[in-house]
A and B are shown apart, each in its own frame.
Chain A
């Protein structure tokens, strides 16, 4: 019993320490004098690495999820004779929930894991220490552009995901199953609110972007600098980021529906 309490206490202390360290890394990476000389080039490079290189998985997944939604939605709506509402169903599902959440989960798997592994490897091979010894702060030179790259990339990726998914729903619903194109688009136009549905989705993806990138860079920066340490950190990065996305999604949805 005593040991169980001790273990519980130890885990609690480690958790708080971890939060403290990650908060420190985030604060020191973001709140500092901007380095215009190198910062912009590094940022563009990171938007390419995190955003552009994630584009293929986002587009393909978006297309398939949209197509599946179209198919499932049509089968259910057909029972009630309201297949014209398919456009509205696909758009609302994607813009409000699936777009931000699935894009963030994919982003955590593709870009987040890559970030953790890259930073962990830089730590294990003394590249970060070397940078420190060259009087260059790795938090500014390595961590900061990666954080900003993730913050900017994910909302754009989630928007692309939603657009492609809606097109996927259109392909299945209109082109394959014969739903009227006018009803599909006009139903969507009249029932999807820019502020409540689209903008809230983008706000969600912005929060997810911050969470995923923060988790990913911190796991890499804080990993045990060995091959095993990097692999564990990469796994933790994806697991923690996924859980944070889902938890945060519930909180944000509750706040948005509660009329915050």
Chain B
């Protein structure tokens, strides 16, 4: 069993009056792809922001490679963040820079490499995601799938130890989805990364994930290998993994009984 790169214990996080996480324990093993799935609004993206130190939990620990993220000073937080790459759902490419400069950005910020070396590194990273030919394009000229691939190239520019993917497959056509799934798997295996994927795309993500956590109502409701979760009898896990329209997450929005409403006196 490999060591854990991220260990979360007793995580509690509240937004306004609603508890997004109410005692979440989670382990992300080093060198593996771990998927975090769950219905919309369960706080999957919030979890990534908590791991990245952009949000501070109300209780619990988030240990990333030996550092408890909520306790870190800004300087140390930035040191830990250099070990992480992140792929936002939108790609979050800098709109005033072209593809090449976007990928070169972290290298120019954090290294003293010469422009020639940066050029070579950027082209290698772009080649890894199949977009070396698009180096001179502006971000407005890219499709959604291409934007995410460029963002992926930028995320691996500094050779991080872990990459967090926030809904990487949402809204993509089947070809792009296939390309992104293959890229995530390839990069994880070839670069020896630890990957966390937050997604709704059960089938695609399960095909590459080593382990899956299912979140709902602020808690981890199930966690296991993907094939085991597909055959799980736990009602939440069964509904989510098999995409059933009704179950613990009801089809109907809470309301009074239909007959009662139909036969009640109409409000003026």
Q: A: which residues have CB within 8 A of B?
A: 38, 121-122, 125-127, 129-130, 132-137, 141
Contacts and interface: CB of A to CB of B under 8 A. Distances in A.
A135 B82 contact: yes
B109 A129 contact: no
B81 A134 contact: yes
Contacts of A121: 95
B54 A133 contact: yes
Interface in B99-150: 105-106, 108-110
A125 B81 contact: no
A133 B81 contact: yes
Given A133-B84, A134-B106, A136-B109, A125 B54 contact: no
A135 B110 contact: yes
Contact of B95 (A127, A129, A135): A127
A129 B49 CA distance: 9
Given A134-B105, A134-B106, A125 B90 contact: yes
Contacts of A130: 86, 88, 92, 94
What range describes how many residues of B lie at the interface? 20 to 34
Contacts of A38: 108-109
B226 interface: no
Contacts of A127: 92-95
Contacts of B92: 125-127, 129-130
Given A126-B92, A129-B54, 10 more contacts: A38-B109, A125-B90, A126-B88, A126-B89, A127-B95, A133-B81, A134-B106, A134-B110, A135-B110, A136-B109
Contacts of B49: 129
Nearest to A136: B109
Interface of B: 49, 52, 54, 78-79, 81-82, 84, 86, 88-90, 92-95, 105-106, 108-110
B74 to A, nearest CB: 8
Contact of A132 (B54, B94, B106, B110): B54
B81 A129 contact: no
Nearest to B110: A135
Nearest to A128: B92
Contacts of A132: 52, 54, 81
A135 B81 contact: yes
Nearest to A49: B96
A133 B165 CA distance: 13
Contacts of A141: 109
A138 to B, nearest CB: 11
25 contacts: A38-B108, A38-B109, A121-B95, A122-B95, A125-B92, A126-B89, A126-B92, A127-B92, A127-B93, A127-B94, A129-B49, A129-B54, A129-B88, A130-B94, A133-B52, A134-B105, A134-B106, A134-B109, A135-B78, A135-B79, A135-B81, A135-B109, A135-B110, A136-B106, A136-B109
Contacts of B54: 129, 132-133
A132 B82 CA distance: 10
A38 B82 CA distance: 19
A200 B5 CA distance: 61
Contacts of B90: 125-126
10 closest Cβ pairs, A-B complex = A135-B78, A130-B92, A126-B92, A135-B81, A126-B88, A133-B86, A134-B106, A135-B82, A136-B109, A127-B92
Contacts of A137: 78
A125 B92 CA distance: 6
A125 B95 CA distance: 9
A131 to B, nearest CB: 8
Contacts of A122: 95
Contacts of B52: 132-133
Contacts of B110: 134-135
* Residue of A125, A129, A130, A141 with most chain B CB atoms under a 10 A cut-off: A130
Nearest to A133: B86
Nearest to B82: A135
A127 B52 CA distance: 15
Contacts of A129: 49, 54, 88, 92
Contacts of B106: 134, 136
B183 to A, nearest CB: 19
A126 to B, nearest CB: 4
From A121, A133, A136, residue with most partner B Cβ within 10 Å: A133
A125 B89 CA distance: 9
B127 to A, nearest CB: 21
Contacts of B93: 127
A165 to B, nearest CB: 34
B45 to A, nearest CB: 10
Contacts of A134: 81, 105-106, 109-110
Contacts of B88: 126, 129-130
A114 B94 CA distance: 17
A110 B110 CA distance: 34
Nearest to A45: B96
